[in-house]
Amino acid sequence: MLHTLAVLVENNPGVLTRVSGLFARRAYNINSLSVCSTENPGISRMTIMVDGDDAVIEQVTKQLIKLVVVHKVTDLTDEEIVDRELALVRIKVRADTRLEILQIVDVFRGRVVDMGRSNLTVELTGDAEKIDAFVRTIRPFGLMELVRTGNIAITRLDS
């Protein structure tokens, strides 16, 4: 099962190597990993999507916490969360497909951020499933390039 882990780490050089190296040497599978600084400049937050059963996730969590640079690990899988991914998608267009493609982009609430004679680039945010769906829909028209950030997630505060 796919788990979403929020990992607060020190914002130092080498921290990413420590974390990603741990996954590699203990044979855990990272589906995606995104990292950037947080509201606290000394702290970065990694959002790691990792595949595994409960025992594996428990080990991943405990091994991560053992790293001196890791402040906190939260498994967001069973939490109420908002998760988002950003994708930039370059699509081949012809005169006769342009309109249809723009309609699809519109349905997915994407935004055209660059447009050429034979291609256009779309910015799209959403959860991973939505981006998967968009990519599936657009692929027959000619998918030229796809860049995804990987998931980031935040818990919902009780309303």
> What residues make contact with other proteins under the rule CB under 8 A?
10, 14, 17-18, 21, 25, 55, 58-59, 62-63, 65-66, 68-72
Between 63 and 137, whose beta carbon lies closer to other proteins? Answer: 63
DSSP 96: T
Between 55 and 95, whose beta carbon lies closer to other proteins? Answer: 55
Determine contact, residues 130/108, Cβ cutoff 8 Å: yes
Determine contact, residues 44/38, Cβ cutoff 8 Å: yes
Closest contact distance (angstroms) between CB of 45 and other proteins is 13
Between 71 and 84, whose beta carbon lies closer to other proteins? Answer: 71
Closest contact distance (angstroms) between CB of 66 and other proteins is 6
Pull the structure tokens for residue 12. Answer: 């130092």
* Residue 30 CB partners (closer than 8 Å, separation 6+): 20, 23, 48, 49, 50
Closest contact distance (angstroms) between CB of 149 and other proteins is 25
Closest contact distance (angstroms) between CB of 62 and other proteins is 4
Alpha carbon distance 18, 35 (integer Å) = 13
Closest contact distance (angstroms) between CB of 129 and other proteins is 32
Alpha carbon distance 7, 27 (integer Å) = 18
Between 11 and 34, whose beta carbon lies closer to other proteins? Answer: 11
Between 7 and 93, whose beta carbon lies closer to other proteins? Answer: 7
CA angle 15, 25, 54 (to 5 degrees): 95
Phi/psi for 154 (5° steps) reads: -140, 145
